[in-house]
Amino acid sequence: MPKADMLMKLLKSNNKGFNTVLQQVKIISASDGNCQATFKVSPDSVNMFGTLHGGISATLVDVISSLALKSHPLGDRKSVSTDIHMTYLKSAAIGEEILINVKPLKVGKQIAQLYVEILNNANKDLLVKGMHTKFLMADKIKDIMKLNRRMQLVFLIVIGSQLINKMPKADFIMKMINQCKGFDALTKNVKYLSANNGNCQATLKVEPEHTNPLGGLHGGFSATLVDIVSSMALVTHKYGEVPSVSVDMHMSYLKSATVGDELVINAKTLRVGKTLAFLEVEILNNATKDLLVKGSHTKFLMKPK
């Protein structure tokens, strides 16, 4: 069958775990590592401001580029993500259709590098640029897809310092998360242990809905954790209590986690300037203390003039 139909069938067959967030994806074409797909922004894929969630963008980069790799003559192998780099330029609102274009930069014996652009399908504005690096394993797997890692972002939050100071900041953040809708609701099981002075620590038990088709922690969900927990850390900083938007996020994947594992997410604010904030996140296995994911997140501060 045509490769686009084959990838569409493969995507639907792996519609479980965290991949269920991509039910609106339609594969248009796929050949030699190139892939084009569309996705309609729904209420379930937006942040609290009603625009495309950065975590969804990262997941699209992860999954669609992984599907594109499947169509390459050298890419029909099991693979795992090692690095994803996201740059956010513009956003999209509910009802808008976005176009995802994937191009393979290199597919070697062990490493594949893919470039992804996400555009507004109506006006062709470039919304997101993504780079995805994957390690290719030796064994060929024809029946399993590797829709792993993707990153994330554009988690916008407005919070007043007077509100924060009414209760411990970790408790306040938990209350905020419990009230979240749209894509943010997927992090409802995150427990915030501490939050103060731009630092934040949280835990999460890996559930089936957080995994990829291979049963490991989904890269898109990891990116979403980096996005959201670092955004929460930022609002506890004395200069970070303003609306902010993501401009850059970089993920490095070192190890994975499986269902039942407890994660600890440590977010640290490195610097808050007049217009930009720089944050760093580590995701660890809470039992072994193994470092699983390293993330960096840059946000633009929307300070009132």
**Residue with tokens 């504005």, as numbered in its chain:** 125
Q: 176: pLDDT confidence band, cut at 50, 70 and 90?
A: low
**H or E segment to which residue 37 belongs:** strand 34-40
Q: What is the largest CA-CA distance in the chain?
A: 61
Out of 66-70, 72-76, 176-180, least confident range: 176-180
- Give the pLDDT score at 214: 83
Q: Which residues in 113-146 are b (16+ Cβ under 10 Å) and which e?
A: bbebbbbbbeeeeebbbbbbbbebeeeeeeeebb
- Give the pLDDT score at 60: 94
Under a CB-based contact definition with an 8 Å cutoff, are residues 52 and 111 in contact? no
- Give the pLDDT score at 184: 67
Q: Which of the listed CATH numbers 3.10.129.10, 3.20.20.140, 3.40.50.880, 3.40.50.970 matches domain 161-301?
A: 3.10.129.10
Share of the chain above pLDDT 70, in %: 82
pLDDT in tens, 120-145: 999 999 999 999 999 888 654 333 33
Q: 305: pLDDT confidence band, cut at 50, 70 and 90?
A: low
- Per DSSP (E only), the strands in 96-173 are 97-107, 111-120, 126-136
- What span, in angstroms and rounded, lies between the C-alpha atoms of 133 and 148? 11
pLDDT over 90 at 152, yes or no: no
pLDDT in tens, 1-59: 567 787 778 777 766 667 778 888 999 999 999 999 999 999 989 988 889 999 999 99
Q: Which SS3 state, helix, strand or coil, does residue 66 take? A: helix
- What span, in angstroms and rounded, lies between the C-alpha atoms of 85 and 130? 6
Cα 187 → chain centroid: 12
Under a CB-based contact definition with an 8 Å cutoff, are residues 138 and 56 in contact? no
- Give the pLDDT score at 187: 78
- Give the pLDDT score at 149: 34
In the chain, ranges of CATH 3.10.129.10 domains: 3-136, 161-301
CATH of domain 3-136: 3.10.129.10
- What span, in angstroms and rounded, lies between the C-alpha atoms of 227 and 54? 7
Across the range 279-297, mean pLDDT stands at: 97
Most confident of 190-199, 204-213, 277-286: 277-286
3-state DSSP percent of the chain in helix, strand and coil, to 5: 25, 40, 35
Mean pLDDT in the chain? 84
Share of the chain above pLDDT 90, in %: 59
